[in-house]
């Protein structure tokens, strides 16, 4: 795969996983502590979080909404709007992950209104969220890849919630392509990472 300019292959979890992302993203573990089951990369208001969690036993059709609501709860989102949910074609959109190891993967997206730690709720800001769920039943895990992008102020959104529209300069389709481009480069090099 030809990478966009200014992208770089990154080793995650000590090289057990590799994925390409924009070169400007910085590894947060170089700045402060990050939980062992997470990788956190940031570039200004953009962030990418990869997290290994125990496999959810929910039926496949409910997994996307479950993880979306869980993310909103953990993030203490003051409002949330789920805009889209799709099952990914693992062989086409995650070519570095064997479909025998990952029979199902989902991409959900929308907006959540968040506050940064120690901020007053009145300083909440809308964030466009792209959450990918890779189901890995053979290792009893789910791999979550969350990409966050800044949004503009709320105006005329579908629900009238505080969650705004993504910045027009990149737009929803552009962000979807960025996320899918990253996912196409995702490779698990060492499956013992999962236990």
Any idea what the CATH number is for the domain that residue 156 is in? 3.40.1000.10
Is the CB of residue 54 less than 8 Å from the CB of residue 44? no
* Residue 176 resides in a domain: yes
* Residue 30 resides in a domain: no
Whether residue 9 is predicted with pLDDT greater than 80 in this model: the reply is yes
* Residue 48 resides in a domain: yes
Range of the domain at 52: 7-25+36-190
User: Whole-structure pTM over 0.85, yes or no?
Assistant: yes
Is the CB of residue 4 less than 8 Å from the CB of residue 178? no
* Residue 45 resides in a domain: yes
* Residue 195 resides in a domain: no
* Residue 143 resides in a domain: yes
Read off the pLDDT of residues 104-157 as tens digits, 9 standing for 90 and up.
Answer: 999 999 999 877 655 566 667 889 999 999 999 999 999 999 999 988 554 224
Question: What per-residue confidence (pLDDT) applies to 148?
Answer: 93
Q: 10: pLDDT confidence band, cut at 50, 70 and 90?
A: very high
Cβ-proximal residues to 183 (8 Å cutoff; 6+ apart), any chain: 19, 88, 93, 94, 132, 145
Number of domains in the chain: 1
CA–CA separation, 46 vs 179, rounded Å? 12
């Amino acid at each position: 795969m030809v990478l966009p300019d200014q992208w770089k292959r990154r080793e995650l979890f000590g090289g057990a996983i590799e994925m390409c992302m924009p070169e400007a993203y910085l590894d947060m573990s170089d700045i402060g502590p990050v939980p062992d089951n997470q990788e956190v990369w940031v570039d200004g208001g953009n962030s990418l979080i990869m997290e290994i969690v125990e496999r959810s036993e929910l039926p496949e059709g409910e997994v996307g909404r479950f993880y979306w609501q869980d993310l909103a709860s953990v993030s203490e989102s003051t409002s949330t709007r789920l805009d889209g949910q799709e099952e990914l074609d693992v062989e086409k959109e995650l070519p570095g992950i064997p479909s025998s190891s990952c029979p199902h993967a989902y991409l959900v997206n929308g907006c959540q209104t968040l506050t940064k730690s120690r901020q007053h709720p009145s300083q909440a800001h809308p964030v466009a969220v792209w959450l990918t769920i890779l189901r890995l039943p053979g290792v009893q895990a789910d791999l979550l890849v969350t990409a966050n992008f800044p949004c503009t102020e709320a105006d005329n959104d579908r629900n009238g919630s505080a969650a705004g529209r993504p910045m027009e300069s990149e737009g929803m389709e552009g962000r979807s392509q960025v996320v899918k481009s990253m996912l196409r480069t995702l490779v698990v090099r060492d499956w013992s990472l999962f236990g």
